[in-house]
Amino acid sequence: MRPESAQILNLVQESQRVLMVSHKDADGDTLGSALAMCDVIRGMGKAVTLRCPLPVPEVYSFLPGYDIVNQEEGTPPDLILVMDASNLDRLSDTLSDLDGQPLVNIDHHVSNTRFGVVNLVVPEASSTAEVTYNMLLEWGVEISPLAATNLYCGILTDTGGFLHENTSYEALSIAAELVRLGADPGDVAMRVYKNKKLSSIKLSALVMGTIGFDCDDRLVYAYLSQALLEKSGARLEEADGIIDMLNSVDGLELALFFKEIEPSKLTKVSIRSARPARNRHPRCRQARRTDVGRGRLPAAPQHRRQANRPRRNPRPGRDRGAADLPRPGDPADRFPFSPGQGIPGRDQDWQRQRH
Ligand SMILES: [Mn+2]
């Protein structure tokens, strides 16, 4: 057993009341891992509670055992387990009323700040669910169908439905094992990916109307304003899958999705890149490294394909002629933050979208 696994097991065995903590903007991994741990810890005869910063996305309310999330707690806990959070800021003020309890950090983010008394951080793992599964294997405890379903959801969602680069042999074999232990892959997939609200579809349609291409069509961007959000009747969390739609464009190297959180004050930018850095177009590389961070795209390089020269191999629906594509300086209703003009507000919150 790895020393961290043993130390965590020790801490859990010595405690009576354990608090599980998920990160803000909760996803299937942080909730799935935490709910699976709730089940295991309860099985060890301990009291367990789960805190998750609000709002908790509705889509995960199907997870078995979900009713424990943010329930009233009696006595304060004597141990805290934080799942899938790379740093303490990810918890908002979730722990502000607590003091002195040992904090255990279970995660897979390479950027993890090792904030716990024990840090079980495995950057090679696809998900915290994978880290948790391996830890439970070392503990030698039984994984119930309830825990298996939660862990499966964690791996499924953090690999983007087994589509992202982190979909490894390890991730797939653990997922298969979790199915053997009682997770229903069809059911979980349906509840996570095939239960979209009409408002979400409307929102996607409106956002797709703002789509623009640049850098020889290797950069795609789209924008979500509060006005579009209102028009669709959707909640902000319903925009979560849109960056993946943008990132699915053929030949793309960089996808940017601007979300207006507070008008003229705070805009969040989600970034996805489709190819390894060494193959990226120089302008995209430059944009990714520096200028987008200041709300600015760099000037077009000299070798850029001439605007009106057609592609050698036109792609259906995309290459009607470069004149049809949005360019820097296009009307503001297409893309309010024109490249070169900067993004309003100094408080942009950068969200790396690998969970
Ligand atoms: Mn994760």
Domain edges within the chain: 3-193, 198-353
Query: What are the angstrom distances between the C-alpha of 70 and each of 23, 30, 67, 347?
Result: 13, 14, 8, 29
Model pLDDT, residue 60: 96
pLDDT, one tens digit per residue, over 16-28 is 999 999 999 999 9
| Domain 3-193, second-level architecture | Alpha-Beta Complex (3.90)
- Per-residue pLDDT at 23: 97
Can you give the pLDDT at residue 275? 59
Look at residue 273 in the predicted model and tell me its pLDDT: 84
Q: Which of 166, 169, 35, 32 is nearest to 110 (CA)?
A: 166
The tokens for 137 are: 């294997």
Architecture per CATH, 198-353: Roll (3.10)
Question: What pLDDT is stored for residue 340 in this prediction?
Answer: 40
Q: Which residues surround ligand 1, an ion (CB under 5 A)?
A: 29, 84, 127-128, 158, 355
> Which residues of the chain carry a pLDDT beneath 70?
274-355
Tokens encoding 328: 């820097």
Which pLDDT score, from 0 to 100, does residue 321 have? 39
Cα(34) to ligand 1 centroid in Å equals 11
Q: Where are the beta strands (DSSP E) in the chain?
A: 17-21, 47-51, 79-83, 103-107, 118-121, 212-214, 219-224, 254-262, 266-273, 349-352
Instruction: List the 47-51 sheet strands across, edge first.
Output: 47-51, 17-21, 79-83, 103-107, 118-121
- Cβ within 8 Å of residue 337, ≥6 positions away: 223, 258, 267, 295, 343, 344
Element (H, E) at 277: none
Identify any residues that bridge with 269 across adjacent strands, giving them in sequence order.
Answer: 258, 350
Q: How far is the CA of 221 from the centre of ligand 1 (A)?
A: 25
CA of 354 to the centre of ligand 1 (A): 8
* 183-to-92, 155, 189 alpha-carbon distances in Å: 31, 12, 11
Q: Are 82 and 116 in contact (CB under 8 A)?
A: yes
Cα-to-centroid distance, 36 and ligand 1 (Å): 14
pTM: 0.72
pLDDT score, position 313? 53
* 3-state SS class at 113: coil
Q: Residue 186 in contact with residue 299, Cβ under 8 Å?
A: no
Encode pLDDT of 30-53 as tens digits.
999 999 999 999 999 999 999 999
Residue 249, pLDDT score: 86
Residue 345 pLDDT: 35
Measure the CA–CA gap between 12 and 343, rounded to whole angstroms: 47
